Structure formats: structure tokens, C-alpha cells
Structure 1
Amino acid sequence: MLNFNVDFTGEFFAFFLLAACAIVGAVLAINFTKVVHMALSLAFTFVSLAGLYVLLQAEFVAFVQVLLYVGAVTILMIFGIMMTKHQSEGREPGRPLLETLAAIGCLCLFGILFYAIRNASFPKPQAELPEDNTMAIGKLLYSAYAIPFELVSVLLTVAFIGAVALAKREKEEEEEPK
């Protein structure tokens, strides 16, 4: 069952380094008490995931990961943190029973996933992947999927305008004298 025939290559070590960075960043994001530190550790996790995408030869997904999550979402979180008022609140006391149950649940989930992955049979790809997958995605996006792409951009624009309208209405309600 535990047949570990592994070639110790640079790609193997890069995978484990990036996976460890992603896990450490995620654990730190959960455990930090300051929100800015949480956002920065989350950005660290996103960058590590982008590195894992590069190892999987999904350069476009890695680029989108860095552009959207690291660039936009993390910066948006930091701006949101800086623009809002935060009052210092104490850390809630630890709950040893819940923490123990969570650790047992995590170990059980790890065991189930390890067993499932070790016993899975992955089919061979039917067709050869394109040499330049970013160009292939771009050609498909702007030819066969042009209409859904434009509909998503209209949807995002409408959502943005709605968010601005709601924020403006809330601000006007706060400023009204009572």
C-alpha cells in the first residue's frame, strides 16, 4: 500500500517547499490576531499556490492567481482594514475539548484523503496539451467563449455599481440628523 517510488528531483523539492509555505501561510492566517497580519499571511499563501500552479504547467492560472488574489483581493482587504475602525478586543479563551476534537477530525480527514489518493487510478490524458496553454486559453476565450466573457464583465460592472449605490445610501442614512 505504501509504495514510495519517488525521484528526488528539483521539482519534487520545489513542490514540498511551496506546499509547506502554503500550509504555513494558511495556519498563520488563522492564528494571527491582527487583521493586517492575517491579510499578509493570506497573500503569502496565494503566492505559494501560484508557484504550485507553475509546477503544474498552468502558467495562466498562476498569473491569474497572482493578479486577482494577491494583487486585488489582498490589497482590497488591506484597504478595507485601513478604512474601518477597529477596537481592540481580547482574544477569546481556548477551548481544549473543541481543539482536541478539531485535531482528531483533521487527522481523520488526512487519513481518508491519503487512502483515497493512494488508491486512485488517474486516466491518461486523451489528447496532447497545447505547447502554449495561455495562448490556447486566450484564443478560446475571445472566439468560442466571447459572449459568456462579455456577460460576466457586464455582471461584474452591475455588481460594482450596486455596491457603490448601497454604500452611498448607507452613508446618507448615517448622516441624517435624528
Structure 2
Amino acid sequence: MSGEFAAFAILSLTAISGGILMLNVTKVIHMLVSLVLTFLSIAGLYILLTAEFIAVVQILIYSGAVTIIMLFGIMLTRKTDEEETAPGRLKKWLVFAGIAVFAVVMYIGIYNLDLTGEPAALHENNTEQIGIALFTGHIIPFELTSVLLLAALIGAIVLAKKEEEEEKQ
């Protein structure tokens, strides 16, 4: 077993465990911590793929900024952190069945995957390659994403303003 394979196994199991843990804990702060664990593990997987730029962006944006925004959102809402009742057996079995079906579908998809093709030069100027691909071939989806995010921001402001006005009345 090589060191690279061991690192991949540890990071992928950590990412999967963080995702499963996030779905199964009841406190919102614990969910957030397990989400950070998953994000950091995915950044480690990017480093194994020699995509250092994407790994740093993953850590800065997802593990840092998005997590802080979620934390502020949790703290600013008025929802109390109450213990929920334990889920019933039916819910647990349905969750297990869903995970099992997802695992089988992923296994079949990966098993039937055809990876033949011309290898790309991945280790040379990663950031430059991302910039060229993003601003030449994918400029329309990039700009549409920015418009969509702007619309979501305006919608959030309008909804927050409505709630604020309803509270005053």
C-alpha cells in the first residue's frame, strides 16, 4: 500500500464520515463542525490530485467563508436549540435503504465508467488553466451564476425587510 493510497483512503473516509455525521447529529452547531470536517477532507483530496489552487479555494471559501456565514445565520435566528425526539425505526430503515441504493448506483456508475482518452497536462500552471477555461469557454455560465447570486441576494434582502416590517406592526 502506497502512502498516496493511504492518504486517499483516510481523506475519503473522513469526508464520508463527516457527511454522514452531519446528517445524523441533532444540534446545528455539531452539523456545522462536521460540515467543516467534510470540506477540509475534500480540500485534502484536491491536494492529492495536484490541484493546489482549488484546494486553497476550497479551504478559504467553503471551510472559511461559507461556514462563518452559516454560523452567523444560526446565531442570528431565534430558533432555540432544543433536543428533538429520536427518529423511529421506519425512518432509520428508510435512511439506510436510501444510502444503500445510492451506494449501489454509484458503484455501477463507477464500474461502467470509460476513462479512455487523451491525458491532459494537469501539473503545469493549474491556476492559468483554470482562468483560461473559465474566462474563455465558460464565460456565459460564469456570468449567469453571478446574476443568479445577485438575484438571490436581493431576494434575501426583500424577505428580511418584510419580516422586519411585520415585527414592527
Equivalent residues of 2:12, 2:41 under 8 A apart: yes
Shifted more, 59-68 versus 16-25: the winner is 59-68
Secondary structure of the residue aligned to 2:17 is: helix
Q: Runs of 4+ in structure 1 displaced over 6 angstroms?
A: none
Secondary structure of the residue aligned to 1:122 is: coil
Question: Please, what is the CA RMSD of the aligned residues?
Answer: 2.7
Q: Separation in 2 of the partners of 1:136 and 1:40?
A: 33
Q: 2:168 aligns with which of 167, 170, 175?
A: 175
Secondary structure of the residue aligned to 1:123 is: coil
Q: Separation in 1 of the partners of 2:57 and 2:98?
A: 33
Q: 2:102 matched to 1:102?
A: no
Give the match for residue 59 of structure 1: 52
CA gap of 1:109–1:86, structure 2 versus 1, over 3 A, is closer
Equivalent residues of 1:130, 1:136 under 8 A apart: no
Question: 1:11, CA displacement in angstroms?
Answer: 0.9
Identity %: 47
Q: 1:79 aligns with which of 65, 72, 76?
A: 72
Q: Separation in 1 of the partners of 2:139 and 2:83?
A: 51
Q: Separation in 2 of the partners of 1:68 and 1:164?
A: 22
Q: 1:44 aligns with which of 14, 22, 37?
A: 37
Give the match for residue 139 of structure 1: 132
Aligned residue pairs, count: 169
Max Rg structure: 1
Structure 2 residue runs of 5 or longer lacking an equivalent are: none
Structure 1 residue runs of 5 or longer lacking an equivalent are: 1-7
User: How does the TM-score come out when normalised to structure 1?
Assistant: 0.77
Question: 1:147, CA displacement in angstroms?
Answer: 6.2
Secondary structure of the residue aligned to 1:121 is: coil
